[in-house]
Amino acid sequence: MINVNDEIKKKSFLVYYDNEVFVLMLSDDEAGKLFKSLFPYGREKIKPDFNTNPALAMAFNIISMAMDRDEEKYLRRCEANRKNGRRGGLAKASNSKQSLANGKQGLANLADKDKDMDKDKDMDKDMDNSITYPEAEVAEDLSTNGIPECNQMETQYSIDKDRIDKDSIDKDSIDNTICTEPDKPAPDLSGVLLPLNDNTYYDVPKESISKWRDTYPAVDVEQQLKQMTAWLDANPRRRKTRRGINAFINSWLAREQDRGGVYRNGGSRQQESAPASNELPQEYKEMYAKYLGKNPPDPDAPFQ
């Protein structure tokens, strides 16, 4: 059993509902004696003398064992808290020492930095004092009693003017060598407007229509564009973006081309390509004369 000192000694004890079964089997006098005996046992571990009453002794033993278990748990929890508090205190003290050391090191670094800055300033002053400027000597040579002569001033002006002119020529040559990309002409629009998903319209260029005619020769491109417009008006949720509208048009025309286009179901172009005359082919005429012995009737003649 863990040793108990006055600082961590338990101040209370628990009585569980599980004990109600055998406590109710005791008389009121026995239950009172049992309850009174719990206080000296919980404080000083003093056991009562219930040897003459087995029922009362059994009830006390059951309750006292539960009190011992609760006390063991309490003491373990107190010991764990004490160890955790010691660890936290040591860590806090270590952090405080480290912070103090860092502060001292920071102050030392700041002092060293100030010393280095002072040294740099002294070096800069020494260098300024040791440097001589040749411009002053040249000015004295070119002057007479401190006043520049006229021909020397004109020479200096001429040199500066030539330098400015050369810079201007170089800039002009650079500007002339850089050319911007020529503007592309605006496409010639057809006026066929396909509604887009942002409630704007895509005006189909005539150049695109011409390309689609060559790419899909069996398709009446203008008629299909009108059908696309009607379909997009009827299906606003399936309208396309400005970037994806050309892919939509090509897919539509390709599908129509695969279906036969205007030649499907005896279209108009197929009728236009049929022979203009109802005259029978020559092989049919020969077969008619061979087996029937006469020329075939005129197709344009009235039915006999």
Three-class DSSP category at 260: coil
Whether 57 has a pLDDT exceeding 70, the answer reads: yes
Question: Model pTM greater than 0.85?
Answer: no
Q: Which helix or strand (DSSP H or E) is residue 191 part of?
A: strand 189-195
Q: Are 272 and 264 in contact (CB under 8 A)?
A: no
* Cα 68 from Cα 175, distance rounded (Å): 100
Question: Please, what's the largest Cα pairwise distance for the chain?
Answer: 151
- Average pLDDT in the chain: 76
The tokens of 45 are what?
């571990």
**pLDDT interval class at 282 (50, 70, 90):** confident
Is residue 197 within 8 Å of residue 241, measured between CB atoms?
A: yes
* Residue 164 scores a pLDDT above 90: no
The tens digit of pLDDT for each residue in 186-218 reads 778 888 999 999 999 999 999 999 999 999 999
What residue type is assigned to position 58 of the chain? M
What is the 8-class DSSP label of residue 183? P
Pick the more confident residue, 147 or 218: 218
